[in-house]
Amino acid sequence: MAVLISPAQVTALRASGDHPRLLDVRWRLDRPEGRPDYLEGHIPGAVYVDLDRELSRRGEPAEGRHPLPRRDDLEDAARRWGLREGDTVVVYDDVASVAAARAWWLLTRSGVADVRVLDGGWRAWVAGGGAVETGDVQPPRGDVVLAEITEGITIDQAERWSATGVLLDVRAPERYRGEVEPMDPVAGHIPGAVNLPTTTHLADGRLRPPAELRAAFASVGADGSIPVAAYCGSGVTAAHTVLAGELAGIEIALYAGSWSQWANTPGRFAAGGPSPDGPLSRV
Q: Are residues 164 and 99 in the same domain?
A: no
Q: At 40, which helix (H) or strand (E)?
A: helix 35-40
148 within a domain of the structure (yes/no) = no
Closest listed residue to residue 159, CA positions, set 47, 259, 56: 259
Over residues 196-208, the mean pLDDT reads: 96
In a domain, 77, yes or no: yes
How many percent of the chain have pLDDT more than 90? 92
- List pLDDT tens digits, range 93-132: 999 999 999 999 999 999 999 999 999 999 999 999 999 9
pLDDT at 1 over 90: no
DSSP-derived pairing of the beta strands 21-24 and 88-92: parallel
Asked whether residue 229 is assigned to any structural domain, the reply reads yes
Residues 122 and 11 in one domain: yes
| DSSP states along 98-154 | HHHHHHHHHHHHTT-SEEEEETTHHHHHHHTT---B-S---PPP----PPPP--S--
The model carries a pTM of 0.96
Q: How much is the pLDDT for 248?
A: 97
Mean pLDDT computed over every residue of the chain = 96
Range of the domain at 246: 155-277
One domain, residues 69 and 169: no
Neighbour count for residue 57 (Cβ, 10 Å): 15
Is residue 232 part of the annotated active site? The answer reads yes
CATH of the domain at 167: 3.40.250.10
Whether 190 is in a domain gets the answer: yes
Q: Burial level of 116, CB count in 10 A (0-12/13-18/19+)?
A: buried
Task: Mark whether 171 and 233 lie in a shared domain.
Answer: yes
Q: Tens of pLDDT along 44-89? A: 999 999 999 999 998 888 999 999 999 999 999 999 999 999 999 9
Residue where a domain stops, chosen among 107, 127, 147 = 127
In terms of domains, do 268 and 159 share one? Answer: yes
Note the pLDDT of residue 21: 96
Euclidean distance between CA atoms 205 and 66, whole angstroms:
24
pLDDT number for residue 85:
94
For residues 254 and 175, membership in a common domain is answered with: yes
State the pLDDT confidence band at 22, using cuts at 50, 70 and 90.
very high
Same domain for 265 and 167: yes
Q: Give pLDDT, residue 30.
A: 79
Q: From the candidates 68, 232, 244, 252, which is the catalytic residue?
A: 232
34 found inside a domain: yes
Average pLDDT over residues 133-156: 97
Q: Are 24 and 72 in contact (CB under 8 A)?
A: no
Residues 74 and 30 in one domain: yes
State the Cα torsion 26-80-146-72 to the nearest 10°.
100
Q: What is the pLDDT of residues 210-246, one digit of tens each?
A: 999 999 999 999 999 999 999 999 999 999 999 999 9
Domain count, the chain: 2
